[in-house]
Amino acid sequence: MNFTLFHFLNQFAGRSDTVDDFMEFMAQDIVWILLAVMAALWIGARARQQRLVFYAGLSAAISLFLGKYVVSPVVDHPRPFVSHAVTQLIPHSADSSFPSDHATLAFAIAFSVWYANRRLGSVLLAMACLTGIARVYVGVHYPADIVGGLALSGIVSYLVYRTNGKLDFIPDGIIRFYRRATSKIKFLSPKA
């Protein structure tokens, strides 16, 4: 079923330059938009949003660490282009594909934001889903790799969310340092 779903999406790759360009952007670059949203929340927001950015970053870091150093070596699943003839639109090393790092990062940010702000979080979750679909479309991941990143990020983000309040002294210290360091730079000085 994993390969069947992969083939269903990947069969459309290489048929339309416009669609391919869009999917390549979604597969590789949408995470930069997610990170830009986090930067905008940090720079222009109140302490509550800055804490959100901290917890989103913490969720992403833990998820990526667990995915790369715990889950991936155990599963050691080859990428689609290693095992099958596929239409591969973007270059990628032939390392283990499970779970997808891009999906893990995108879903960790999206879930973290969703817990605090449903509207913005829903937009980010849609972007994370598009990233996952695009990673399959361009031939570098199986659908299960994306679902694995979603599940790992969902669990970690929820557990980090449940600690909110108990660890606030960490982001609060970082926020105080940031405010002191940027107090003379008008556009970086957040509202109280």
Element (H, E) at 37: helix 30-44
Query: Residue 192 pLDDT > 50, yes or no?
Result: no
Which residue ranges make up each domain of the chain? 2-10+24-84+97-182
**Which of 63-67, 91-95, 99-103, 137-141 shows the lowest mean pLDDT across its residues?**
91-95
Q: Taking the model in full, what pTM does it have?
A: 0.88
Q: Which residue has the tokens 């050691």?
A: 76
pLDDT at 189: 57
CB 105 within 8 A of CB 60: yes
- C-alpha 79 chain-centroid distance: 19
Measure the N-to-C terminal CA separation of the chain; round to a whole number of Å. Answer: 52
Q: What is the full DSSP assignment across 1-31?
A: -HHHHHHHHHTTTTS-HHHHHHHHHHHHTHH
With pLDDT > 70 as the criterion, what percentage of the chain qualifies? 96
For 167-191, what is the mean pLDDT?
Answer: 79
pLDDT tens-digit readout, 96-118: 889 999 999 999 999 999 999 99
- Does 192 or 48 have the greater pLDDT score? 48
SS3 letters across 108-162: HHHHHHHHHCHHHHHHHHHHHHHHHHHHHHCCCCCHHHHHHHHHHHHHHHHHHHH
pLDDT digits (tens, 9 = 90+) for 113-170: 999 999 999 999 999 999 999 999 999 999 999 999 999 999 999 999 998 788 889 9
pLDDT for the residue 187: 61
Distance CA 189, CA 73 (A): 43
